[in-house]
């Protein structure tokens, strides 16, 4: 399990939320995603490539980001999410990536980033968000995080990623 349980009285970690990508973000996203220890080298490369592509395309491409910068930190990107509208569906969005740096986990940053994603999607007229994740034991905290945020497991695709590693699909309807 990553991170220590946050005391109820602790204030959320101070972070600055932004949605515009900056030139150094692709490298920062790559090292953040790698540092979690949750992703294969191929997945780390995809996270980097998506950020590179989004930087090259600018606003209006298929990927949108929410980034959380920590104050007073040599390595400021504390967390981020990447999402996009599902083509040919009506107001349906995929959350492609969400990650919080290990040193910043369990401080309310993930929930803050996800709430920001949901707010942007709702403002854009989105009605439902989908998230895919793995059934592996190391993702139990991730599943707890999604459930705590109001996401329900809708489907399980057996052995999707590899034998014994199912794909779980969560979703949440935005009100």
Ligand X SMILES: CC(C)(COP(=O)(O)OP(=O)(O)OC[C@H]1O[C@@H](n2cnc3c(N)ncnc32)[C@H](O)[C@@H]1OP(=O)(O)O)[C@@H](O)C(=O)NCCC(=O)NCCS
Q: Enumerate binding residues for ligand X (CB under 6 A).
A: 1-3, 6, 36, 38, 98-100, 105-111, 133, 139, 141-142, 144-145, 148
Question: Taking a C-beta distance cutoff of 8 angstroms, is the pair 155, 169 a contact?
Answer: yes
User: Order of strands, edge to edge, in the sheet holding 165-173?
Assistant: 15-18, 64-70, 77-85, 92-100, 128-134, 165-173, 152-162
Residue nearest to ligand X (CB): 110
Between 15 and 21, CB nearer to ligand X: 15
Between 89 and 138, CB nearer to ligand X: 138
- Report the chain's terminal Cα–Cα distance, integer Å: 32
**In a 3-state reduction of DSSP, which class is residue 38?**
coil
We find the least distance from the C-beta atom of residue 76 to ligand X, in angstroms, to be 15
Question: Taking a C-beta distance cutoff of 8 angstroms, is the pair 21, 66 a contact?
Answer: no
Between 27 and 148, CB nearer to ligand X: 148
We find the least distance from the C-beta atom of residue 66 to ligand X, in angstroms, to be 12
Between 91 and 108, CB nearer to ligand X: 108
């Amino acid at each position: 399990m990553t991170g220590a349980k946050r005391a109820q009285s602790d204030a959320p970690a101070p972070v600055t939320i932004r949605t515009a990508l900056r030139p150094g973000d692709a490298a920062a996203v790559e090292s953040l995603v790698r540092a979690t220890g949750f992703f294969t080298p191929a997945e780390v490369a995809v996270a980097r490539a998506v950020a590179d592509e989004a930087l090259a395309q600018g606003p209006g491409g298929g990927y949108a980001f929410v980034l959380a910068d920590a104050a007073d930190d040599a390595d400021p990107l504390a967390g981020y999410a990447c999402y996009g509208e599902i083509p040919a569906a009506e107001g349906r969005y995929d959350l492609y990536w969400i990650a919080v740096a290990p040193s910043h986990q369990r401080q309310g940053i993930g929930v803050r980033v996800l709430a920001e994603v949901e707010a942007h999607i709702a403002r854009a007229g989105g009605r439902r968000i989908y998230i895919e994740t793995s059934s592996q034991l190391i993702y139990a905290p991730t599943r707890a995080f999604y459930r705590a945020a109001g996401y329900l497991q809708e489907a399980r695709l057996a052995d999707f990623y590899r034998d014994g590693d199912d794909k779980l699909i969560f979703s949440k309807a935005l009100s």
